[in-house]
Amino acid sequence: MRGNLTFDIAHLLAGSLVLVSFLQLYQARLYALLNIYALHALVLAASVAWQAFVQGAPHLYVTAAIALVFKAIVIPVVLHRIIVRLGIHREIETVVGVGPAMLAGMGLVALSMVVMLRVTPGADPLAREDLAFALSVVLLGLLMMVTRRNAVSQVVGFMSLENGLVLAATGARGMPLVVEISVAFSVLIAFIVIGIFLFRIRERFDTVDVQALDNFRGERR
Amino acid sequence: MNFDALAGVLLIPAVAAAALAALPGYRISARLNVLAALLTFATAVSLFVVQPASGPYLLVDDLNKVFIVLTTFVGFTTTIFSASYIGHEIEAGRLTPSFVRFYHAMYQVLMFAMNLALVANNIGLMWVAIELATLTTVLMVGIYRTHEALEAAWKYFILGSVGIGLALFGTILVYMAAQPVIGEGLNAMVWTVLVTKAAQFDPALLDVAFVFLLLGYGTKVGLAPLHAWLPDAHAEGPTPISAVLSGLLLNVALYALLRFKMLLALNPSALAPGPLMVTLGLISCLFAAFMLYRRRDIKRMFAYSSIEHMGIIVFAFGMGGALANFAGLLHMTMHSLTKSAIFYAVGHISQVKGTQKIADMGGLTVSNPVLGWGLVLGVAAIAGLPPLGIFMSEFLVVSSTFAREPWLATVLVIGILVGLGGLFLRLNAIAFGEPRGPAAPAQASYVPMFAHLAIVATAGVYLPPALVTGFENVARLLG
Amino acid sequence: MTVVYALCGVAALLAMAPAAIALSASARSTATVYGASLIVTLTLAVISLICLLGYLPRSAVTLPLGLPWLGAHFRIDALSAFFLVVVNLGGASASLFALGYGRHEHSPQRVLPFYPAYLAAMNLVVLADDAFSFLVSWEFMSLTSWALVIAHHRVAENVRAGYVYLLMAGFGTLALLLAFGLLAGGHGDYAFDAMRAAHPPMLLAGLVLALAIAGAGSKSGVVPLHAWLPLAHPAAPSHVSALMSGVMTKVAVYGFVRIVFDLLGPPDWWWGMVVLAIGGATAAMGVLYALMQHDLKRLLAYHTVENIGIIYIGLGLALAFRVHDMPLAAALAFTAALFHVFNHSIFKSLLFFGAGAVLNATGERDMEHLGGLIHRMPQTAFVFLVGCVAISALPPLNGFVSEWLTFQAILLSPQIPAWGLKFLVPAVGALLALSAALAAACFVKAFGVSFLGRARTPAAAHAQETDGNSLAAMYFLATLCLLAGILPGIILDALAPVTQSLVGSGMPHQAGLQWLSVVPIAEGRSSYNGLLVFVFVVLSGSVAAIAIHRLASGKLRRAPAWDCGYPDPSPATQYTASSFAQPIRRVYGASIFRAREIGEMPPPGSLAAARLTVELRDLIWEGAYARIAGFVGFAADRLNVLQFLTIRRYLTLVFTALVLLLLVLAIWP
Amino acid sequence: MAVTRDLALQFAQMLVVLLLSPLLTGFVRKVKARLLRRQGPPLLQPYRDLIRLLRKDVVLAESASWLFRAVPYIIFAATWVAASLVPTFRSGLMFSWSADLIAIIALLGSARFFLALAGLDVGTSFGGIGSSREVMIASLAEPAMLMIVFTLALVAGSTQLSTIAAYIVSGAAGLRVSFGLALPALFIVAIAENARIPVDNPATHLELTMVHEAMVLEYSGRHLALIDLSSELKLLLYVSLIACLFAPWGIAAPEADAQALALGVVSYFGKLALGGALLALFETAIAKMRVFRVPAFLGAALMLGLLATLLLFVSGTL
């Protein structure tokens, strides 16, 4: 690693990614959420690019590009369309209120910090901090999936989780297959979005859910 | 990489998949499917004769040889079953030829993916393979395009993707742990290199990694509380896929877990993965055992029984030690064979009766004696009654555990007993009493089912020494 | 070498199962299978008898089967030789009986394949010499007998009975599995020799005893683990019921003896008490339950419970004597137990055969629908009567001898210095006496109601005498009952090597005594001579008969029954089974069964029939089994909710698991 | 020589009990009558009854089976053998070792078993009443009797009657609490076993409380005679049992000479007379009880016996 500045910048980017995750948790409207997600992807792209520069690994630029084009532009637009086409109403139904969710998020970030900083200092500090942030992003993404009812916001949750993964992957110095993985994940996300569109999942995953089929099969007692 | 058996195990399914995707007409493609599976199996067996050297991407050792042969064998028998099953489905008009073509191609892709996951020498590659296997099964679960099938597929897809995500994170962490020791680049993801250096890895990182891997791959193994996708995927997919899911895919995920367990076991200061696995195993076993009692859908019931047995297997590996590991391997093998046999029977039964509802079948031993008694035998086997194979493994697990950890063994025994009760409660309704529902003779191929049951029955009283030595080596490998 | 012969026989039996499936189409399958199994079991019985008498070597063999690194060990020693005799004698007579009885079986293909396998399994249990082969054979025995229990699966209650049976069998097997796990000590050495060599510490040994009682006890039907027995035994075809009641329970006793007396090493001070208490309770409860039954086969099944109790009393005494090293007394008690094992296997099979013959002739198991069969089936009635006298422990038949020996053993126990026993043993003795008396009462009821009196239903009125094979089997067993009763010394001597090997001493040699009488300890102390008693009774009876017919009148007139001048033609006015049991029910039932009699007397003038309903409650079932079943159902319902969550909730589960594990990591030291 | 003498004595004993038993019954009836200020039948009346019955021919119910006809002989034989094994005037009889006390009780038990069956055989309600009550009573009386046997056996260290008698004569036993408990128990059991008041009434018919008489209701002629004779034998057996167990004085030892034998016979007659008189006295003094109070009555006997046994288990000296 070269000097302190690189460290700080990577740190800054990763940290801001966490911050944006919090912003996502904070949102109450779908469109806003989508925009924030675009921002999330943008920050990710930046941090990936920076990592590419720091590690001198040109292939990471591809990942960054994917993040930029696909996640920051295409997906939000498509989802936007879907919302319009399916006439999904714009409020985000939450399971727990925004306040508690934020608190839980805090807890998760703290948890991931503790877990990661137990790592013996021998390891590359840049990687370590990065990992801590990545883990918190992942957990926050999961939290989002768990605490939001709308299908779209859950998808967004999943995508930010995946952003966390990419962040971790790129943070790992010289990790092979990163590009492939990010591609694979983009495919996965595409599948999900298509699924939402195909299955006409208006409100939440719950509407197409095993409940229906179990009532149908009469297994419920 | 010159062409050897190892490449064969991968190439044959890949080529077959391409061919099947191109071929119209299900009869010929079904035959081709069988042929390809047979070839794969043959090549897999040849691994025992000449063990090819393992490169940076692929490897063969005692551990995965067992898995590969098991996978290819069940894969092969399942194709035979699937031939007659799909034939009936087409006549019944539940599947259109185009879907059947897709199905066959996907089947081979699935085989390819699972074999790849097994022979992968690279944790990243393994991850990719398992993700591929998951996605293919998702597509096949949804193949009937009924509301329930899509439901199940969607559920499987979402939960599976999260699992994949967690597993990836774990994989990255393992790389992070290895990278300072081994250095950047590919080597830090290669098993054969990792195991040599595992002792110097950062234990804390390994711990976190294992948590994520346990949950990520555990989702695929179907451990409670990560099991949610499993029963529905089994119940709604075509029965051959249920057989493959229960018989193979769970094993493949388990294989991944075992690999990482070995890695942790090699590192003295990392946390022992045993307790975690034991806990999850017991939870799954007990939970699934109780879930059996309220089942109305026959396939879903056996899906839960798969969860129960995966719990027992994970428990055994978690206990560790030569005896328990041996028992775990044996149990896994026996479970794959038995459970797939059961699903063969169930597939034909549900085709005969035209339903999967237990309430609508009954007196099967009267209306369709062969199927009925086959099912009874299978259930007896899966419930761990002698002289069938699972009894031996359960005997070893319980008796070896009881001397070390009496309470754990007691809990496990309770789980087994409750499971037995649940299974036979339903079996009585299915196989005995006044026959109900249509009793048309099934045009079924009984060969795969009874072949499996015969193997299981023999294994219950006699294990060939070669197999034993093989298992013992693996058990030693697992520590 | 002997064991090899035995294994060959077993192999032959096993081979018969697939053969039976192959034959199931042909009409001769029944005769073939039962004939073959008759031959094989008879040969096995002879071989093992010769071996028990010591003319064949007691040998062991290891086959490359079972656990790979252990192999399947088989061995014949004195104990297993004796039990082999019991098993195969029962098997042979059952096969002979089935040669006739089986012809009436309406779905033979559900009986024939399992029957020989069942016989083979019981033989294997007795032969096995390592934990794995033992348990495999043990559970295989359960599995095959389960299949036989549900042979008539269209009757829902049979399937239910089979279900309860299978669960209890599984429970027992797992208990034994744990016991062996303890004995083997975790290092996977499951050969019995190794277990004999390594004695577990006393506390663990106690645990093993408890597990052995749970495992072998549940199979042999000790209270309160007996619940499955009266359900399953009657459900099976009668010759199988005979095997289950007469033989399989004995195999279970063998398992108990093998573990506790052979593998477990020196007993702890309290073992004898526990076994004694269980035995006493089992004997008394069994016979009381039996008295309340009016289903003939279920009544017999409950009597099996009682007799098992008597056997366990003997075993408990033997343990107690062993603790305070009194080898002679221990030998006496142990011999009494084994002798009762033999006796019970004989007369219980005989009685079940009789019940089966009745079932065939009338299609009825309910005694309330029988009556007067002695006129229609005199021979069956006669042999059944012999069985009744034998099981009621009345001289000069065999049942009396074994109970007499048990009493003699009890009379030796005051010399034991342990205080707990000083209170326990007399109580158990009283229970034993009580159960003997009640058993007599119960079989007066069983024989009197179903065979004597007047026919209560047309079915009973038109019954036909059963066929020759069945009669042959029953006469054979009846003869054995008599012989074992009047010449017990021979059997006691044959048992000597068994006691010698397990409790370190044998009873004094009986063969040399004058008039073939039996002297357990010393001439002055007690002695019994069945032969003389029998001869005296026969002589004096016939002398009286001859004298009277010679000197006084021998004339005889038939006339309507007098009945104090109020004869009633309707057979409904006879005493029924339940009315016969009513006085005893009033004495014992109120407390044990919460028995209540509700009489509805219609007002004067109304033409409605007065009715008396008796309700009994099975407190053990309600207290234990029903509760457990209830709990399982409750838990199943509660957990079943997890089948119907939304995807988001499932994700929550995953998420929680993840966070929990991470927290564990975080706070891990 | 000795063998023939023993054999002779054994058969003498058998004849003695057979011939004396009706006399004892007659004696009891006579004493009862006198106690009631009645003349009563002559002493030899039972013999006359027996002979008359034997001469009459049997009237057999149509629904009676072969068992019904065999039972009287079985009962008679069992009771006779049992009675002839109890030492009366001389202990250590030739075949006394062929059945100890337990076996004798069991022999009587088999007699009862068959009698109860006979009660059910004709298929009348009265027979049913009789047998069901009989077995209920027996189910309490037999355990009580066995407990008493335990008591004696534990004291004397033997279940052989001769040995017990000899032991008690020898005085080694002394006076014991357990005997004090066992004697009344034995008395109660004897009352119940012989169907005497207050458990049952040998003299009546057509009473819903009757037990023994109800069972034998359908018997007539020689069968009835045998049954009566065996019940008389049973009474004699119990009296001589009590005599031999609790008052064995005067019984001639096995190696006794002629005059000792004579003494034994005389003392035996004395004991019989005393026992019969006491029984008659008791029967006249007490009233018949309801059937369902009998269990309590017998339960008392069982408790006494159990208590005596317990005492002996806990301390050998009591």
D54 at the C interface (CB within 8 A)? yes
Domain ranges of chain B: 274-479
Across the range C179-184, mean pLDDT stands at: 89
Residue that terminates a domain, selected from C547, C579, C600:
C547
Return the residue in A145, A147, A199 with the most chain C beta carbons within 10 A, the one to mutate for interface testing.
A145
Domain containing C632: what range? 625-667
The DSSP letter of residue A67 is: I
**In terms of Cα–Cα distance, which of D139, D133, D144, D145 is closest to D291?**
D133
- Yes or no, beta carbons of D142 and C436 under 8 Å apart: yes
For residue C43, the model assigns a pLDDT of 96
Total tally of structural domains belonging to chain D: 1
Judgement on whether residues C362 and C455 belong to the same structural domain of the protein = yes
Contact by Cβ (8 Å): D126, C457: no
Tell me what the pLDDT averaged over chain C comes to.
Answer: 91
Taking CB atoms and an 8 Å cutoff, what residues of chain D touch C554? 57, 222
Q: What span, in angstroms and rounded, lies between the C-alpha atoms of A146 and B458?
A: 48
C411 closest CB neighbour out of D154, D217, D226:
D154
Pseudo-torsion of CA D278, D280, D285, D286, nearest 10°? 110
Across the range C490-519, mean pLDDT stands at: 85
Q: What span, in angstroms and rounded, lies between the C-alpha atoms of A133 and A19?
A: 10
Is the pTM higher than 0.80? yes
- Yes or no, beta carbons of C643 and B231 under 8 Å apart: yes
- pLDDT higher than threshold 50 for residue A214: no
Under DSSP, is residue B14 helix (H, G, I), strand (E, B) or coil?
A: helix
Q: What is the pLDDT of residues B416-432, one digit of tens each?
A: 999 999 999 999 999 99
**Lowest mean per-residue pLDDT among A89-98, A162-171, C373-382, C448-457:** A89-98
Q: What is the pLDDT of residues C464-488, one digit of tens each?
A: 999 999 999 999 999 999 999 999 9
User: A96 to chain C, minimum CA–CA distance in Å?
Assistant: 12
For residue B78, the model assigns a pLDDT of 95
- Yes or no, beta carbons of B424 and C166 under 8 Å apart: yes
A103 at the C interface (CB within 8 A)? no
Take residue C444 and report the two structure tokens written for it. Answer: 């007066």
B184 closest CB neighbour out of A122, A168, A173:
A173
Tell me what the pLDDT averaged over chain D comes to.
Answer: 89
For residue D317, the model assigns a pLDDT of 66
For residue D209, the model assigns a pLDDT of 63
Give domain status of residue C463, yes or no: yes
Q: What is the pLDDT of residues C320-348, one digit of tens each?
A: 999 988 899 999 999 999 999 999 999 99
- pLDDT higher than threshold 90 for residue B322: no
- pLDDT higher than threshold 70 for residue A212: no
Q: What span, in angstroms and rounded, lies between the C-alpha atoms of D110 and C156?
A: 41
Residue that terminates a domain, selected from C532, C547, C562:
C547
- Yes or no, beta carbons of B396 and C188 under 8 Å apart: yes
With helix as H, strand as E and coil as C, how does chain D read? Answer: CHHHHHHHHHHHHHHHHHHHHHHHHHHHHHHHHHHCCCCCCCCCHHHHHHHHHHHCCEEEECCCCHHHHHHHHHHHHHHHHHHHHCCCCECCCCCHHHCCHHHHHHHHHHHHHHHHHHHHHCCCHHHHHHHHHHHHHHHHHHHHHHHHHHHHHHHHCCCCHHHHHHHHHCCCCCCCHHHHHHHHHHHHHHHHHCCCCCCCCCCCCCCCCCCHHHHCCCCCHHHHHHHHHHHHHHHHHHHHHHHHHHCCCCCECCCCCHHHHHHHHHHHHHHHHHHHHHHHHHHHHCCCCCHHHHHHHHHHHHHHHHHHHHHHHHCCCC
- Yes or no, beta carbons of C538 and D77 under 8 Å apart: yes
- pLDDT higher than threshold 60 for residue B355: yes
Total tally of structural domains belonging to chain C: 2
- Yes or no, beta carbons of A217 and B232 under 8 Å apart: no
A206 at the B interface (CB within 8 A)? no
A111 at the B interface (CB within 8 A)? no
B202 closest CB neighbour out of A119, A135, A216:
A119
- pLDDT higher than threshold 50 for residue C585: yes
For residue C453, the model assigns a pLDDT of 92
Tokens 């009409």 belong to residue: C27
Q: What is the pLDDT of residues D130-179, one digit of tens each?
A: 999 999 999 999 999 999 999 999 888 888 888 888 888 887 777 788 88
Contact present, B and D (at least 3 Cβ pairs less than 8 Å): no
Interface of D with C in 14-53 (CB under 8 A): none
Nearby residues of B344 by Cβ (< 8 Å), 6 or more positions away: B77, B78, B81, B239, B243, B448, B449, B452
Give domain status of residue C450, yes or no: yes
Interface of C with B in 68-97 (CB under 8 A): 68-69, 72
ipTM: 0.91
Q: What is the pLDDT of residues C239-276, one digit of tens each?
A: 999 999 999 999 999 999 999 999 988 888 899 999 99
Q: What is the pLDDT of residues C57-111, one digit of tens each?
A: 888 999 999 888 888 999 999 999 999 999 999 999 999 999 999 888 888 889 9
User: A37 to chain C, minimum CA–CA distance in Å?
Assistant: 20
Q: Tell me, what amino acid is at B49?
A: V
For residue B15, the model assigns a pLDDT of 92
Q: What span, in angstroms and rounded, lies between the C-alpha atoms of B342 and B357?
A: 16
Domain containing D87: what range? 2-314
Contact by Cβ (8 Å): C380, C465: yes
Judgement on whether residues C443 and C532 belong to the same structural domain of the protein = yes
- pLDDT higher than threshold 90 for residue A220: no
User: D313 to chain C, minimum CA–CA distance in Å?
Assistant: 5
User: D35 to chain C, minimum CA–CA distance in Å?
Assistant: 31
C198 at the B interface (CB within 8 A)? no
B407 at the C interface (CB within 8 A)? no
Contact by Cβ (8 Å): B205, A119: yes
Comparing alpha-carbon positions, the chain A residue that sits nearest to B145 is A199
Across the range B155-179, mean pLDDT stands at: 90
Across the range C282-298, mean pLDDT stands at: 94
**Termini Cα distance of chain D:** 43
**In terms of Cα–Cα distance, which of A190, A141, A110, A138 is closest to A33?**
A141
Take residue B237 and report the two structure tokens written for it. Answer: 């997919």
Q: Tell me, what amino acid is at C5?
A: Y
Q: Where are the alpha helices (DSSP H) in C452-589?
A: 458-461, 468-486, 488-503, 530-551, 577-584
Give domain status of residue C438, yes or no: yes
Of C553 and B233, the structure prediction assigns the larger pLDDT to: B233
For residue D208, the model assigns a pLDDT of 61
Q: What span, in angstroms and rounded, lies between the C-alpha atoms of B98 and B106?
A: 12
Take residue D276 and report the two structure tokens written for it. Answer: 């019969």
Strand pairing class (C611-615; C596-600): antiparallel
B297 closest CB neighbour out of A118, A191, A219:
A219
* Phi, psi dihedrals of residue C326, rounded to the nearest 5°: -120, 75
| pLDDT band, residue D99 (cuts 50/70/90) | confident
Nearby residues of B79 by Cβ (< 8 Å), 6 or more positions away: B30, B33, B34, B36, B37, B38, B107, B240
Q: What span, in angstroms and rounded, lies between the C-alpha atoms of B265 and B256?
A: 14
Taking CB atoms and an 8 Å cutoff, what residues of chain B touch A115? 208
β-partners of residue C614 are C597
Q: What is the pLDDT of residues C593-603, one digit of tens each?
A: 888 888 888 88
Nearby residues of C231 by Cβ (< 8 Å), 6 or more positions away: C157, C160, C161, C164, C165
Q: What is the pLDDT of residues C201-218, one digit of tens each?
A: 888 899 999 999 999 999
